[in-house]
Chain A
Amino acid sequence: MASGNNLAVEMKGITKRFPGVIANDRVDFELEKGEIHALLGENGAGKTTLMNCLYGFLNADEGEIFINNKKVEVTDPNVAINHGIGMVHQHFMLVPPFTVTENIVLGKEPTENNMIDYKTANQNVRDISKQYGLNVEPTAKVQDISVGMQQRVEILKALYRGADILILDEPTAVLTPQEVEELVKIMESLTDEGKSIIFITHKLKEVQSIADRVTVIRSGKLIDTVKTDTVTTNELANMMVGREVILEVEKEEANPGEVVLEVEDLYAKNDRDLMALNGTSFSVKRGEILGIAGVDGNGQTELTEVLTGLRKKEKGTIKFKGREITKPQTKRLFEEGISHIPEDRQKRGLIMEFKLYENLILGRHDRKPYASGLNLNNKKIKEEARRLIKEYDIRTPSETVQAKSLSGGNQQKLIIAREFDRKPDLLIAAQPTRGIDVGAIEYIHNSLIGQRDNNKAILLISLELDEILSLSDRVAVIYEGKIVDILDIEDATEEKLGLMMAGAESEEVKGGGQVG
């Protein structure tokens, strides 16, 4: 430190090989003390591998790691922890029935007479949460708190173990826009306290708004490390993907036809038996994309599930192609022409252990040409699978690998192939681009527009306001299970929608505009 070298972490020439692939190829990486450093790259580019080498989950084949200017052999995570490194994984590693405090002190409990000293533990947790402005309730159970809160618990866990250098792996993937904002504040207060943060992401916008510097990795190779205020989002996208990326979606004027789906005064309960849809009404026409904007947890999930027969409605009417559906049943709805891209591809969309060809028939596995009578027609199924893989550009060695061996973007393409191939009249796309890389997002956006131009009705439910704004022809804002208002895309600005998403009536928004 006296030397004037202000690096918290320095990784030199890191190479990590897996059988058949080089995940990291002589990558250099530096983290200055007190900075927020983004590590940007597409899925599979080698970001997480690099960080796993730093955290000791993996051992690099070549290269050196310096922590606070000292050369360290990070053979396992304990070494990293002892050197003040903490990692917050994308999928939290918490014990749901335990309290916040119990989770934080787990493995390092303060004890008195061999018993856990909960008083001290709770106090410790209160102290550090106060110090860094991370508000948590120490005695709440983790299963009862929001995802954003759980993430704070993970961060506190690392801090409790004395971390000065924090690695956050895709921390915003699971957060609502508000929670993202709060996370950014937390990250800033952490760096104010002298912590350094590495922040793994593939979202360009976040890099610009959160990080001081950014290191871009592509196909395992270091592309560059730059200050974020010296590059544009487009430049970053090009560095990340390696070719010109069009972030704006190009589309023609919509040409809407007759109403395909009409929802009126719909009520439905959520899993906790509370009313989640409180009289939702809207309609979708052929040849248009209706975007549903809103903060997570305002009834979007329940709406999708009711419309696809996965959840019971309490009351209200759903009309599809002019006919009222009194008892929505998944199978019937599919057969009548509704396709659905679910918001959670691993939970609902795919059977990860199943092979691609098996996944591609889910939902029509008992119909011709895939089945005759009780029997599956495996030959035909594989044939069709090969056609779809080609048509939808799914990158895979063959149709006989398991779905879990594909990257996130290709998994999503697999679902899209299956759902589009049904030739639906209505397509319900819930979070169609969550957690996938830019290249695949571009592809999916263009295919949604393509379906629209093909005279399909599309209901797009997304938490990404950008996505709503760039794809939709009309935007409905949902708040506490009710549609606040439906705007034409020309009238929908980010500010207006933002206010409405927070519950302001459309009139107030307009009125506010006049006064301001």
Chain B
Amino acid sequence: MVDKNISERKAKYLQKQRLVDLIVPIIAIIAGLIVGAIFMLIIGAEPIKAYIVLWNSSFGSLRGFGEMLVNTVPLIFTGLAVAFGFKIGLFNIGGDGQFLVSYLAAAYIGYMFQLPMYIHLPFALVAGIIAGGVWGGIAGYLKAKLGIHEVITTIMFNYIALHLVGYLVGGPLKAEGPLPATPKIFDTAKLPRFVPNMRIHYGIFLALAVAVLIYYILWKTTFGYEVRATGQNPDAAQFGGINVARNMVLAMFISGALAGLAGSTQALGLEYRAYQPFGFVGYGFTGIAVALVGKGHPVGVVLGALLFGVLSRGAMMMQSMVGVPKEVIEIIQAIIIMFIASEYIFKYLARKWRERKGGVADAS
């Protein structure tokens, strides 16, 4: 009986935990905005005005909303990539490299072939998926077979991708003319845009569908079960007859493919060619933040990607309209990530508060 009481108490506690999971990101956002406001005050800007601009930049007009979604698409993919890696216990920091190889692969298929759209577009997307998947899968293989830490390999593969893509786009695959970029892709490889005169493309629907697919894989399939089991307790997974090494390679392939989709949709939906990269665009890196904010859950990732989509869109508008440097937004982003990463502090404070409240109730 006591057993039961304790379990029930713990079950209740765990439910509360889930509530904390929801509240923490919200508090983090508010805290980020407050700290951002303080910085603005210090440099003599008007935070309220700036925040109104921030809000309006995404929600004030249809165009703004569309542009915000354009920012959001790659972040959903890279966020899912990092989240999927987390689920099997691997930290994929290589999103930027996987982004780049897929970006180029999709663009290459886009301009090299002339095919009907229903073949061409999927072909280009699949090429991107494979490129990113292989890029991530190599890191998974090195981890599973040789025990090389995936953080190191994925970072190094970022640089290999950066310079490889840079060389290819600037040299062998460069289009004629002054622009350091590949030729334009054919229309048949383009992800269509669905609002006249706006850049928002079908990539957003693809991203949402993939988020649903990832949710389904993780919680409704045996493979997802194995991935989660391996991530939570590799020893027990092995004990249960799960092929841990194979799953690691496969999961990193999927993670890389997801980050790759960010690159392919960027090439096929937005830029219609691959430009020579100056440096990392940072989608992979922001994807880590998105996955953290989203608690590694696909729904959370979508929401997190929206948040960062709004912030990055707002950063530009705040700079041009009220003269708040866009670095302030970066500070806000950093604060949000920091708060979420230090969730422990919240939980500690919440517990202390509850304990104190409990103590008072007992005394009365």
Q: Point out residues on A near B: beta carbons under 8 Å.
A: 17-21, 44-45, 59, 61, 219-220, 308-310, 329-331, 334, 340, 342, 347-354, 358, 361-363, 365-366, 371, 374-376, 378, 395-398, 401-402, 405-407, 410
**Which residues of chain B are near A396, meaning CB under 8 Å?**
4, 7
> Which of B38-46, B129-137, B174-182, B230-238 forms contacts with chain A?
B230-238
B226, B239, B243 — most chain A CB neighbours (10 Å) = B239
Quick one: which of A20, A331, A358, A374 contacts B9, CB cutoff 8 A?
Answer: A20
With A and B bound together, what is the CA distance between A191 and B3 in angstroms?
Answer: 36
B251 vs chain A, min Cβ distance (A): 15
Interface residues of B in 205-242 (CB under 8 A from A): 219-226, 228-229, 232-233, 235-242
What 0/1 pattern do residues 181 to 214 of B give for CB contact below 8 A with A?
0000000000000000000000000000000000
A108 vs chain B, min Cβ distance (A): 26
Interface residues of B in 1-25 (CB under 8 A from A): 1-14
CB contact under 8 A between A405 and B358, given known A20-B12, A348-B236? no
**Which residues of chain B are near A21, meaning CB under 8 Å?**
2, 5-6, 9
How many positions in chain B have a CB within 8 Å of any CB in the partner chain?
38
With A and B bound together, what is the CA distance between A136 and B235 in angstroms?
Answer: 32
CB contact under 8 A between A375 and B222, given known A20-B5, A398-B11, A405-B7? yes
What 0/1 pattern do residues 282 to 312 of B give for CB contact below 8 A with A?
0000000000000000000000000000000
CB contact under 8 A between A347 and B222, given known A20-B12, A401-B11? no
With A and B bound together, what is the CA distance between A352 and B10 in angstroms?
Answer: 13
Quick one: which of B6, B219, B223, B233 contacts A351, CB cutoff 8 A?
Answer: B233
Are the C-beta atoms of B2 and A363 separated by less than 8 Å? no
Q: Point out residues on B near A: beta carbons under 8 Å.
A: 1-14, 219-226, 228-229, 232-233, 235-243, 358-359, 362
Are the C-beta atoms of A61 and B359 separated by less than 8 Å? yes
Are the C-beta atoms of B229 and A44 separated by less than 8 Å? no
With A and B bound together, what is the CA distance between A154 and B26 in angstroms?
Answer: 42
Quick one: which of B6, B220, B225, B242 contacts A407, CB cutoff 8 A?
Answer: B6
CB contact under 8 A between A330 and B241, given known A352-B232, A371-B222, A374-B221? yes
**Which residues of chain A are near B14, meaning CB under 8 Å?**
401-402, 405
Quick one: which of B11, B13, B240, B358 contacts A363, CB cutoff 8 A?
Answer: B240
Are the C-beta atoms of B236 and A362 separated by less than 8 Å? yes
With A and B bound together, what is the CA distance between A378 and B218 in angstroms?
Answer: 13
**Which residues of chain A are near B1, meaning CB under 8 Å?**
219
A351, A405, A406 — most chain B CB neighbours (10 Å) = A351
Are the C-beta atoms of B241 and A334 separated by less than 8 Å? yes
With A and B bound together, what is the CA distance between A366 and B229 in angstroms?
Answer: 13
Are the C-beta atoms of B235 and A347 separated by less than 8 Å? yes
Apart from A348-B238, A353-B233, A363-B241, what 16 extra A-B contacts exist at CB < 8 Å?
A19-B9, A61-B359, A331-B243, A334-B241, A347-B236, A348-B235, A348-B236, A350-B233, A351-B229, A362-B239, A374-B221, A376-B221, A395-B7, A402-B14, A405-B14, A407-B3
Are the C-beta atoms of A351 and B12 separated by less than 8 Å? no
Quick one: which of B10, B219, B233, B239 contacts A405, CB cutoff 8 A?
Answer: B10
CB contact under 8 A between A397 and B7, given known A352-B232, A371-B222, A378-B220? yes
B2, B221, B229, B238 — most chain A CB neighbours (10 Å) = B2
**Which residues of chain B are near A309, meaning CB under 8 Å?**
241
A223 vs chain B, min Cβ distance (A): 14
**Which residues of chain B are near A375, meaning CB under 8 Å?**
220-222
With A and B bound together, what is the CA distance between A397 and B242 in angstroms?
Answer: 29
Are the C-beta atoms of B232 and A349 separated by less than 8 Å? no
What's the dominant secondary structure at chain B's contact region?
helix
Are the C-beta atoms of B7 and A406 separated by less than 8 Å? yes
Q: Which 9 A-B pairs have the closest CB atoms?
A: A331-B241, A405-B10, A362-B240, A363-B240, A395-B3, A330-B241, A20-B9, A366-B222, A348-B239
Of chain A, the residue at the smallest CB distance from B239 is A348
**Which residues of chain B are near A19, meaning CB under 8 Å?**
9, 12-13, 358
CB contact under 8 A between A353 and B239, given known A19-B12, A44-B6, A398-B11? no
B280 vs chain A, min Cβ distance (A): 33
Of chain B, the residue at the smallest CB distance from A329 is B241
Are the C-beta atoms of B2 and A220 separated by less than 8 Å? yes
Quick one: which of B220, B229, B242, B358 contacts A354, CB cutoff 8 A?
Answer: B229
A124 vs chain B, min Cβ distance (A): 35
Are the C-beta atoms of A365 and B239 separated by less than 8 Å? no
**Which residues of chain B are near A378, meaning CB under 8 Å?**
220
Of chain B, the residue at the smallest CB distance from A308 is B239
Of chain B, the residue at the smallest CB distance from A309 is B241
Of chain B, the residue at the smallest CB distance from A42 is B2
**Which residues of chain B are near A45, meaning CB under 8 Å?**
2
Are the C-beta atoms of A397 and B221 separated by less than 8 Å? no
Of chain B, the residue at the smallest CB distance from A402 is B14
**Which residues of chain A are near B5, meaning CB under 8 Å?**
20-21
Are the C-beta atoms of A374 and B362 separated by less than 8 Å? no
A409 vs chain B, min Cβ distance (A): 8
**Which residues of chain A are near B358, meaning CB under 8 Å?**
17, 19
Of chain B, the residue at the smallest CB distance from A381 is B225
With A and B bound together, what is the CA distance between A375 and B238 in angstroms?
Answer: 20
Are the C-beta atoms of A365 and B240 separated by less than 8 Å? yes
27 A-B pairs whose Cβ atoms sit less than 8 Å apart in the complex: A18-B9, A19-B13, A19-B358, A20-B8, A20-B12, A219-B1, A310-B238, A342-B239, A347-B233, A349-B236, A351-B237, A352-B232, A353-B232, A362-B229, A363-B241, A365-B226, A365-B240, A366-B222, A366-B226, A375-B220, A376-B221, A376-B225, A378-B220, A396-B7, A397-B4, A405-B7, A407-B7
Quick one: which of A330, A349, A365 contacts B222, CB cutoff 8 A?
Answer: A365
With A and B bound together, what is the CA distance between A361 and B13 in angstroms?
Answer: 25
**Which residues of chain B are near A347, meaning CB under 8 Å?**
233, 235-236
B4 vs chain A, min Cβ distance (A): 6
CB contact under 8 A between A354 and B226, given known A44-B3, A396-B7? no
Are the C-beta atoms of B8 and A397 separated by less than 8 Å? yes
A19 vs chain B, min Cβ distance (A): 6
Of chain B, the residue at the smallest CB distance from A400 is B11
**Which residues of chain B are near A342, meaning CB under 8 Å?**
239
Of chain B, the residue at the smallest CB distance from A218 is B2
**Which residues of chain A are near B228, meaning CB under 8 Å?**
354
Quick one: which of B220, B225, B235, B238 contacts A358, CB cutoff 8 A?
Answer: B225
With A and B bound together, what is the CA distance between A397 and B13 in angstroms?
Answer: 13
